Structures are given as structure tokens and as C-alpha cells.
């Protein structure tokens, strides 16, 4: 949480944070500012002090001020035209010198500064390299994992959790609409038909998913997994839009929409068979569902998340399946991690895979997915079941959006 940010900064030997980019679709920035239509701002947070925002475009003044933070327009005190005149209209020199003056005035000319945010890499790289020459005592750093902001974001406030819970309700509403739609479609032989009497395709279903998400006020920046048969056996295959929906073939439906403008995500998966489930698919499904429930039942506060990855591997291996525990290049069996944190990014701390750190624990306030799966593309089958779980301050684990675990969706005769 933000209240822990100064402590994480101290632990990481960071004196200040510098977040670049827009106030939307930019997780680290939105974490501080909320979602507002300011296209380019710099946020500086010196350890022990409140963040300060500098925005570039005067017409975005009111949008920037809606962040509730101390806000300044660069041109208000540091007009770019003045710097251009003094530096022969050299834009890079003008921008860097102006930035040097801003950092000097806010008392940030030395120490370790952690850079983050989503911005143009080429321009940012050029700017930062030249700034180093002007302020040699300022050490600019970044983190591959476990940055102070990432660690603060690992736990959520009750208000943040309610945003995720609302996204969960929206997500399961759309999933329910998809289930009802598929069940209402006529069938010819083993093939579902659309309203025109033609075979129903994955692409047509995805169009409806995007329409319903938009109607309910969400966006879908990471796509949707809706894959059937062999594609369902490849965990990150989003599905072939031209594939026809057939009875009895397992469908992996993994949906992870986000609040409009770059807010909080939800993550959810169900596996369905239309009309009936073949015995081999039913058996795999029952095993995945058993592991899903078993892991959730065994969750304990403050436990390293990777413990549950090892436990999942153990359970699946006892059922006779290969796992990534003994083969990181595995393509069939249990081939991924048990889950990941969820928030302003669809994948964030805590992580559970082999690269997870000791800081990736199930702390009170954490929100994370539990998503065991079994994948056999050679047999045209994949099964995954996923729920998003919240560890509340009372130490209780709760699924933020309940939804049935039925494998078979009934269809019209």
C-alpha cells in the first residue's frame, strides 16, 4: 500500500521516484494520480515527502489537478521558449536544462532515483543520458522486479479491492451472457449455428465479448482467450477467429478486462464443453477442479506464493501428469505457474513461478489468481480453471466473483 512506500524505498536504497508518461493506461502513474486525461506528466516522489506532478501542456492543467496532488505546469515557471532562445533552438538542450532547474528547485540533485512509467523509450533514453552529465551526483536506476512501487502495489486498500470486485462482477456478467448465448444457439449435427444459420465462429463470439464489455464500461486491452480443441491445449493461444464451435470439444475461456482508461483488471477462466464432455476431458477437468479447490483450501497468510506452485506440481504429479517442477520446457501436462498478483497490471506481485522472490508472499491485502491447468495439444484438449482471490485484513481468503464450475453447457436439441 502507499503507506508502506517510504519503507520500501528505504529498503531498496532509493531516495526518490520519477514516474513518466500519461495519467491513463500507465499503471505506476495511475497508482498515484488516478485516471485523468493528461498525456504527458512527470511525477516526482522524494522519500518522506508527498508526490509532485509537473505537466507539459497548459490545456491539461485541470486534468492534472484532478489528481489531488501538488501540481505545476512546466511553462508556468520554466517556459520552454526561454530555454530554446538561450540554447540556439536546440530542443534536447532546452528540455534537459529546464529539467535540471526543476530538479534543483525541488531539491533533487543527488541520490538514487528510480525511474518507471510507460513512455517513449527513445526520447526518454536520450533525455536521461544527457541529464546524467548535468547532474553527475544523481544516480538514475530502474528495477527488473520488486521495485518500491511494485512492492507497495502488492497489497491493496479496501477501496482498491472494491474496484477489482466490481470488475469481477462485470466480468462474470459477461461470461454469463456468453454461456446463455451459446446455449441458445441452434445446432446442426455437431456444429453450433449463428442467427443467419451459418456455423458460429470464435471470432463472432469474441465480437460479442468486446461489445458486452464496452456496454458495461470496461475495456479489453490484453485480448481474450477463447480457444477450442488443440488451441485450448496451448495456454496463451487466444484462439483462431475462424474456428467453428463444435459439440464436445473443450473451450478454454480466459477473460481479463480492465477498467476503462487503465484502471484495475480482473482475471477469470472457465473451461466448457458444449452439449457433452468426452470421458477423457471430464477426467482432466475433474482433476484440475480438485487441485483448484485443494490449493484454495490450503492457502495460508504470509506464505510464499511459490510454495503453492510446488504444491500444485506435487498434486498433479501424484495424478500422473508431468509438471514444470522437473522440466521447465514442458509443453504437455502442467506447464505454467499457479497464479500471479492482479491490480493495475494483469500480472503483478506476488508471483508464484520459478522467478518469484522472497517478497512474493500472500500478505493481507494481496489480490491474486489461482489457475491450475492441464494441457495436451496432441490430444486436442486443454483445461484451466481460474478465480481471483483476495486475502482480507482479517486473514480470510475470498473469491471476489463467484461463478459456477460446470464443464458442460447445455445446447438446443
Query: How does pLDDT run along the chain (413 residues), one tens digit per residue?
Result: 999 999 999 999 999 999 999 999 999 999 999 999 999 999 999 999 999 999 998 889 999 999 999 999 999 999 999 999 999 999 999 999 999 999 999 999 999 999 999 988 888 999 999 999 999 999 999 999 999 999 999 999 999 999 999 999 999 999 999 999 999 999 999 999 999 999 999 999 999 999 999 999 999 999 999 999 999 999 989 999 999 999 999 999 999 999 999 999 999 999 999 999 999 999 999 999 999 999 999 999 999 999 999 999 999 999 999 999 988 889 999 999 999 999 999 999 999 998 899 899 999 999 999 999 999 999 999 999 999 999 999 999 999 999 999 999 999 86
User: Cα–Cα distance between 117 and 19 in angstroms, integer?
Assistant: 5
pLDDT at 54: 97
pLDDT at 246: 97
User: Cα–Cα distance between 388 and 164 in angstroms, integer?
Assistant: 9
pLDDT at 413: 67
pLDDT at 58: 86
SS (H, E, C) the chain: CHHHHHHHHHHCCCCEEEEEECCCCCHHHHHHHCCCCCCCEEEEEECCCCCEEEECCHHHHHHHHCCCCEEEEHHHHCCHHHHHHHCCCCHHHHHHHHHHHHHHHCCCCCEEEEEEEECCHHHHHHHHHHHHHHCCCEEEECCCCCCHHHHHHCECCHHHHHHHHHHHHHHHHHHHHHHHHHHHCCEECCEEECCCCCECEHHHHHHHHHHHHHHCCEECCCCEEEEEHHHHHCCCCCCCCCCECECCCCEEEEECCEECCCCCECCEEEEEEECCCCHHHHHHHHHHHHHHHHHHHHCCCCCEHHHHHHHHHHHHHHCCCCECCCCCCCCCEECCCCCEECCCCCCEEEECCCCCCCCCECCCCEEEEECCEEEEHHHCEEEECEEEEEECCCCCEEECCCCCCCCEECCCC
User: Cα–Cα distance between 199 and 194 in angstroms, integer?
Assistant: 6
111 conformational bin, left if phi > 0, alpha if psi -120 to 50, beta if neither:
left
pLDDT at 331: 93
User: Cα–Cα distance between 369 and 384 in angstroms, integer?
Assistant: 12
User: Cα–Cα distance between 297 and 311 in angstroms, integer?
Assistant: 12
CB 352 within 8 A of CB 337: yes
* Strand pairing class (258-259; 111-118): unpaired
Within a 13 Å sphere around the CA of 241, how many CA atoms are in the beta-carbon half? 8
Of 182, 319, 338, 335, which Cα lies nearest the Cα of 249?
A: 182
CB 387 within 8 A of CB 255: no
Of 235, 185, 223, 224, which Cα lies nearest the Cα of 371?
A: 235
User: Cα–Cα distance between 173 and 307 in angstroms, integer?
Assistant: 33
CB 360 within 8 A of CB 304: yes
The residue with cell 528510480 is: 114
Which triple of cell numbers denotes residue 350? 506476488
User: Cα–Cα distance between 70 and 64 in angstroms, integer?
Assistant: 9
List, as own/partner pairs, every contact residues 92-101 make where C-beta atoms lie below 8 angstroms and the sequence separation is at least 24, other chains included: 92/126, 92/127, 92/130, 93/130, 95/127, 96/127, 96/130, 96/131, 96/134, 97/134, 98/74, 99/127, 99/131, 100/131, 100/134, 100/135
Of 89, 101, 110, 120, which Cα lies nearest the Cα of 15?
A: 110
User: Cα–Cα distance between 42 and 117 in angstroms, integer?
Assistant: 9
The reported pTM is: 0.95
Amino acid at each position: 500500500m502507499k503507506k508502506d512506500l517510504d519503507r520500501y524505498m528505504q529498503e531498496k536504497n532509493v531516495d526518490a521516484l520519477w514516474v513518466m508518461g500519461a495519467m491513463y493506461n500507465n499503471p505506476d502513474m495511475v497508482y498515484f494520480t488516478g485516471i485523468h486525461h493528461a498525456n504527458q506528466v512527470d511525477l516526482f516522489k522524494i522519500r518522506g515527502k508527498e508526490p509532485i506532478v509537473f505537466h507539459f501542456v497548459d490545456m491539461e492543467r485541470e486534468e492534472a489537478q484532478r489528481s489531488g496532488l501538488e501540481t505545476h505546469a512546466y511553462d508556468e515557471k520554466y517556459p520552454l521558449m526561454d530555454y530554446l532562445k538561450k540554447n540556439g533552438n536546440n530542443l534536447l538542450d532546452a528540455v534537459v536544462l529546464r529539467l535540471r532547474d526543476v530538479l534543483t528547485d525541488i531539491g533533487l540533485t543527488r541520490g538514487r532515483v528510480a525511474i518507471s512509467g510507460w513512455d517513449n523509450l527513445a526520447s526518454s533514453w536520450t533525455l536521461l543520458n544527457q541529464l546524467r552529465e548535468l547532474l553527475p551526483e544523481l544516480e538514475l536506476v530502474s528495477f527488473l522486479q520488486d521495485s518500491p512501487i511494485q512492492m507497495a502495489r502488492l497489497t491493496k486498500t479496501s477501496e482498491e479491492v472494491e474496484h477489482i470486485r466490481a470488475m469481477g462482477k462485470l466480468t462474470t456478467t459477461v461470461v454469463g451472457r456468453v454461456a446463455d448465448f451459446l446455449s441458445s444457439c441452434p445446432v446442426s449435427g455437431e456444429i453450433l449455428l449463428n442467427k443467419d444459420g451459418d456455423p458460429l465462429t470464435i471470432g463472432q463470439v469474441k465480437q460479442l465479448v468486446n461489445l458486452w464489455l464496452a456496454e458495461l464500461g470496461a475495456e479489453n486491452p490484453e485480448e481474450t482467450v477463447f480457444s477450442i480443441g488443440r488451441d485450448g491445449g496451448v495456454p496463451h493461444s487466444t484462439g483462431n477467429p475462424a474456428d467453428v464451435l463444435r459439440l464436445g470439444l473443450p473451450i478454454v475461456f480466459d477473460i481479463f478486462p480492465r477498467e476503462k482508461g487503465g484502471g484495475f483488471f480482473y482475471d477469470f477462466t472457465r473451461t466448457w464443453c458444449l452439449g457433452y464432455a468426452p470421458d477423457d476431458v471430464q477426467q482432466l477437468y475433474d482433476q484440475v477442479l480438485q487441485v483448484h479447490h485443494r490449493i484454495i483450501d490450503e492457502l495460508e497468510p504470509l506464505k510464499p506464493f511459490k510454495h503453492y506452485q510446488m504444491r500444485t506440481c506435487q498434486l498433479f504429479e501424484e495424478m500422473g501428469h508431468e509438471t514444470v517442477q522437473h522440466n521447465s520446457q514442458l509443453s504437455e501436462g502442467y506447464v505454467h505457474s499457479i497464479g500471479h498478483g492482479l491490480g493495475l497490471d494483469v500480472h503483478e506481485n506476488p508471483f508464484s513461478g520459478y522467478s518469484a522472490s522472497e517478497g512474493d508472499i500472500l500478505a493481507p491485502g494481496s489480490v491474486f489468481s489461482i489457475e491450475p491447468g492441464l494441457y495436451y495439444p496432441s490430444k486436442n484438449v486443454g483445461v484451466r480453471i481460474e478465480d481471483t482471490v483476495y486475502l482480507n485484513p482479517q486473514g480470510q481468503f475470498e473469491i471476489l466473483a463467484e461463478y459456477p464450475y460446470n464443464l458442460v453447457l447445455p445446447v438446443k436439441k
